[in-house]
A = this chain, B = another copy of it.
Amino acid sequence: MELERTELTDLLALMENGHSPFEKAIRAMKVSVCEAFKKSGALAPVTFLPGTRTLEPNPEVAEAFPNSIAASKNIILSASGAMTEKVSGKRVAVLFSGGPAAGGHNVLVGLKEILGPTNTLMGVKAGPKGLMKGELFEITDDHVKGIINTGGFDFLGTDRTKIEKPDDIDKVRNVCREQNIDAIVIIGGDDSNTNAALLAEKLFCDVKEDGSGVQVIGVPKTIDGDLQIGDDLPISFGFDTATKIYAEKVGNLLRDTASSLKYWHFVRLMGRSASHVTLEVALQTHPTITLISEEVRDRNTTLSEIVDIIALTAIERAKNGLNYGVVLVPEGLIEFIPGFTTMIDDLNDKMTQFKDDLGGKSVREQLLFIYSKLTQDHGELLESLPEAIKFMLMSDRDQHGNLQVSKIETEAMLSHEVKLRIKELDGNVKFEYLNHFFGYEARCGASTLFDSSYTYNLGATAGSLILDGRTGYMASLRDLDKGAKPLGIPIASLLDIEMRKGKPAKVIEKALVKLDSPAFLYLKSRRKLWAEKDLSSSPGPAQFWGPTSRQMPKTVALNRKYNSLDFKFDADE
């Protein structure tokens, strides 16, 4: 049988390769541009002046970043009007680093447009590794037309390489010299911005033959939302798109439980260590139970206590005829359970140390053997875990013999244990569960209007910082509710010393959920009611037109004490 060609089949063939009706329509949408960039109607870069806020760097870090700290004096820069001098001839390289997030393409668009036709924007293929290899190409106006407002990082690609070793930095130095690059924009999360700070310091001067350096500017990306700095960086980009996608699905599951009346859904949400994603999704949907890792750590809640909380809630609801519910589990939960990570480290060490003894043994025998080798606390914790999780901990290891905590299916472990616990507590209570992990499907969602506008203006800010001659800064915007203001945050001043893989490292500290933040307190004030009654809401799929298309994340609006959820990048809108 052959396909008969029709008007419709011809139409469908035209929709391939990024030309769905939706993709075509969003490319044609205008983004909101901050007042600061609208010099007499046309788009123009801004200059920066030291603002009123100063960061306090860690003294040890300050010593390691002498150039950057001397230049910034740890002061956050504020946009101070249109640039009067016309800067031209700059060659700027831009790259994505780390996991993708919606809005990355609009950073490039904002950058390209603010640099204008007299400067050159070069795209780096496939992330930091591509930079070291010198895989650059010129980004044209036609490219911009193709990528504007679309999600994903697919225009350039990305990877997770860190440019840390002197050799790596030399490679970058050579590429900049050979390809005559004046500035690099790194679009990435906390680690990538840490990397940007290091590169800025190392390339501060003496890269080119005339003794000049290469400027390095960071742009804050991560769906996890763990890169935020109070009012000066209300949120990283990509968080809004990802949480809107997760919240839609969780809202749907909440409606599903209340329709089919028989399942508890355990949903693990991507977001690494911090629980920002889970908190945002909870505020959007009002699930039955929301676990927040930071609270678990603060209260020293054990795994059995968590299981008990869920089991007792399920029993209480069953008494009221509600044999269903939704439990949100942050991806990083397990790391926050008291003693868990140190136990895992201990286990990793001992499994390597006693490799030969463990060989040939069954998992059960391995467990019996290993208990006594761990410290007493760790042995007891391991022993107290559910059978399934013990097996998982003994087996799922990477090639270096390490266990990836993020791969532990916490939601499956919890639901399994809750079922057993309910059977113990009250044999008559019906409890059926389904497990979910919502993750990868949200990193490259269609960039929401919030993320599209935010990133366009972040790109314009990054471009302005470059044209203004700055290096070692992260582009940011504040006051997202009333016409956003461009900022430059000195990255080195943000670094702190943290243990990474057993060694002290100078890194940007991950922003965790603060237990005294309005967003968390809001959850705390409502969650008892949400557990008792069905008060769920469905935020629906992210809208790009119509009355609900201009909402920012609830956690951002609450924590920044804005008066409404409406974002406003262009004060005139």
Q: Which residues of A are in contact with B by a Cβ distance under 8 Å?
A: 1-4, 6-9, 11-13, 15-23, 25-26, 96, 99-100, 126, 150-154, 157-159, 245, 248-253, 255-256, 258-261, 263, 265, 283-284, 286, 434, 436, 438, 440-446, 515-516, 518, 521-522, 524-526, 530, 534-549, 551, 554, 557-558, 561-565
Residue of B nearest to A16 (CB): B535
Residue of B nearest to A26 (CB): B540
Residues of B within 8 A of A539 (CB): 20-22
Instruction: Report how far A41 CA is from B244 CA in the complex, Å.
Output: 40
Residue of B nearest to A99 (CB): B260
- Given known A-B contacts A440-B265, A539-B22, A562 and B256 have beta carbons under 8 A apart: no
Which of A6, A256, A526 has the most chain B CB atoms closer than 10 A to its own CB?
A256
Instruction: Report how far A146 CA is from B347 CA in the complex, Å.
Output: 55
Cβ–Cβ contact B535 & A259, under 8 A: no
Nearest 6 interchain pairs by C-beta: A545-B546, A541-B541, A22-B540, A152-B255, A153-B259, A255-B444
Cβ–Cβ contact A158 & B99, under 8 A: no
Instruction: Report how far A151 CA is from B540 CA in the complex, Å.
Output: 10
Cβ–Cβ contact A252 & B545, under 8 A: no
A436: min CB distance to chain B, Å: 7
- Given known A-B contacts A8-B564, A255-B151, A537-B17, A249 and B157 have beta carbons under 8 A apart: no
- Given known A-B contacts A21-B548, A157-B261, A522-B9, A441 and B537 have beta carbons under 8 A apart: no
Residue of B nearest to A435 (CB): B437
Cβ–Cβ contact A443 & B20, under 8 A: no
Residues of B within 8 A of A557 (CB): 8
Given contact pairs A154-B255, A545-B546, a sample of 14 additional A-B residue pairs in the complex whose CB atoms are under 8 Å apart: A7-B563, A8-B558, A8-B562, A12-B522, A17-B534, A17-B536, A18-B537, A23-B540, A25-B547, A152-B252, A157-B260, A158-B261, A252-B445, A253-B441
Q: Which of B1, B7, B151 contacts A252 (CB under 8 A)?
A: B151
Instruction: Report how far A2 CA is from B544 CA in the complex, Å.
Output: 36
Q: Which of B441, B525, B543 contacts A545 (CB under 8 A)?
A: B543
Residue of B nearest to A514 (CB): B1
Instruction: Report how far A554 CA is from B15 CA in the complex, Å.
Output: 11
Cβ–Cβ contact B543 & A22, under 8 A: yes
A323: min CB distance to chain B, Å: 11
Cβ–Cβ contact A259 & B6, under 8 A: no
Cβ–Cβ contact A516 & B440, under 8 A: no
Instruction: Report how far A99 CA is from B548 CA in the complex, Å.
Output: 29
Instruction: Report how far A13 CA is from B558 CA in the complex, Å.
Output: 13
- Given known A-B contacts A23-B537, A151-B255, A158 and B545 have beta carbons under 8 A apart: no
Q: Which of B16, B259, B526, B535 contacts A154 (CB under 8 A)?
A: B259
Residues of B within 8 A of A515 (CB): 1
Give 17 CB contacts A-B under 8 Å.
A3-B525, A8-B563, A17-B286, A22-B540, A25-B547, A96-B259, A153-B259, A154-B255, A157-B259, A157-B260, A248-B541, A252-B441, A252-B444, A252-B445, A252-B446, A446-B538, A541-B542
- Given known A-B contacts A17-B537, A20-B539, A23-B538, A546 and B546 have beta carbons under 8 A apart: yes
Instruction: Report how far A13 CA is from B258 CA in the complex, Å.
Output: 21
Residues of B within 8 A of A535 (CB): 16-17
A265: min CB distance to chain B, Å: 7
Residue of B nearest to A21 (CB): B548
Which of A4, A15, A526, A551 has the most chain B CB atoms closer than 10 A to its own CB?
A15
A364: min CB distance to chain B, Å: 12
A16: min CB distance to chain B, Å: 4
Q: Which of B22, B154, B265 contacts A258 (CB under 8 A)?
A: B154
A229: min CB distance to chain B, Å: 21
A481: min CB distance to chain B, Å: 10
Residue of B nearest to A104 (CB): B259
A198: min CB distance to chain B, Å: 23
- Given known A-B contacts A6-B561, A8-B557, A543-B544, A259 and B22 have beta carbons under 8 A apart: no
Instruction: Report how far A284 CA is from B22 CA in the complex, Å.
Output: 11
A24: min CB distance to chain B, Å: 9
Instruction: Report how far A260 CA is from B518 CA in the complex, Å.
Output: 35
Residue of B nearest to A560 (CB): B8
Instruction: Report how far A284 CA is from B21 CA in the complex, Å.
Output: 10
Which of A100, A284, A565 has the most chain B CB atoms closer than 10 A to its own CB?
A100
Instruction: Report how far A99 CA is from B434 CA in the complex, Å.
Output: 15
Residues of B within 8 A of A17 (CB): 286, 534-537
